[in-house]
Amino acid sequence: MSEPAEPSAASTRTLEIITSACLLLLALLIMWDSRRIGAGWGPSGPESGYFPFYIGTLMGLASAVNLVKAWRMSRDKSFVSVEEIRLVSAMFFPALAFVFVMQWLGIYVSGALLIAFFMRWQGKFSYAKCAAVAVGTSLVLFAMFEIWFKVPLLKGPLESLFGY
């Protein structure tokens, strides 16, 4: 819960409406797709869409109630303040970048980059410390997964340079 003094980035009501509306749309989609593949009684018993159709219907009903309730909520309560959303973004966007870069560099290298970047940016640690923790974590993970448990993870050009 945020302090009333902090400027709000979005009200709880807005988020409640968005969430319940998304779930309602999803429910309608499920019902539509279940009807498409057959939600009735076929020659070999219930068709593929039979159970999902029920699920979609009930999910839609529950979401509709939530949507109505959300609509009637007061607008005062803050879902997230500007300061809070800044902090969350500071984690979320680097994390997205990490997953994006991972496709080319592999988990170990991109993981080390994420750790070093985040420590330097948010923690203001010295470059040496950032590098030590980042490389150390990746090496421990590498030893554990590739060598000890023999579970191969996604690897990039650096690992193939060393013959993995």
Partner 1 sequence: MDEIQALMQGFSVALSPTNLGLMFLGILLGVIIGVLPGLGGANGVAILLPLTFSMNPTSAIIMLSCIYWGALFGGAITSILFNIPGEPWSVATTFDGYPMAQNGQAAQALTAAFSSSFFGALVAIIIITFLAPLVAKFALQFGPPEFFAVQLLTFCSFVGMSKEPAFKTLAAMFFGFALAAIGMDNVTGQLRLTFGFEPLIKGFDFLIAVIGLFGIGEILLTMEEGLAFRGKTAKITPAVVWETWKMLPKYWKTYLRSAAVGCWMGITPGGATPASFMGYGIAKRFSPNKDNFGKGEIEGVLAPETAAHAAGTSALLPMLTLGIPGSPTAAVLLGGLLVWGLQPGPLLFVEQKDFVWGLIASMYLGNIAGLVVVLATVPWFAAILRIPFSIIAPVILVICAVGAYTVHSSMFDVWLMMGFGVIGYVFKKLQYPMAPLVLALVLGDMAENAFRQSLLSSSGNLSVFFSNPLVATITTVALVMLVWPMLQALRGATKK
Angle (nearest 5°) at CA 53 between 51 and 55: 75
Is 66 among the residues that bind partner 1 (CB under 8 A)? yes
- As given in the structure block, the two tokens for residue 4 are 């009333």
Count the site residues for partner 1 by CB under 8 A: 69
Phi–psi pair at 162, nearest 5 degrees: -90, 5
Among 9, 21, 52, 135, binds partner 1 (CB under 8 A): 52
- Out of 9, 11, 21, 47, the residue judged to bind partner 1 by CB under 8 A: 47
Residues 18-37 as x/- pattern, contact with partner 1 by CB under 8 A: -xx--x--xx-xx--xx--x
CA distance 61 to 58: 5
From residue 77 to residue 106, the character string flagging contacts with partner 1 as x (rule: CB under 8 A) and all else as - is: --xx--xx--xx-xxx-xxx-xx--xx---
Amino acid at 49: G
Q: Which long-range contacts (CB under 8 A, 24 or more apart) does 30-36 make?
A: 30/55, 30/56, 30/59, 31/56, 31/57, 31/60
Rounded to 5°, the CA angle 125-127-128 comes to 100
Residue 143 binding partner 1, by CB under 8 A? no
- Residue 7 binds to partner 1 (criterion: CB under 8 A): no
The DSSP bridge partners found for residue 23 are none
Binding site for partner 1 (CB under 8 A): 12, 15-16, 19-20, 23, 26-27, 29-30, 33-34, 37, 41, 44-52, 55-56, 58-59, 62-63, 65-66, 68-69, 72, 79-80, 83-84, 87-88, 90-92, 94-96, 98-99, 102-103, 107, 111, 114-115, 117-119, 122-123, 125, 133, 137, 141, 145, 149, 151-154
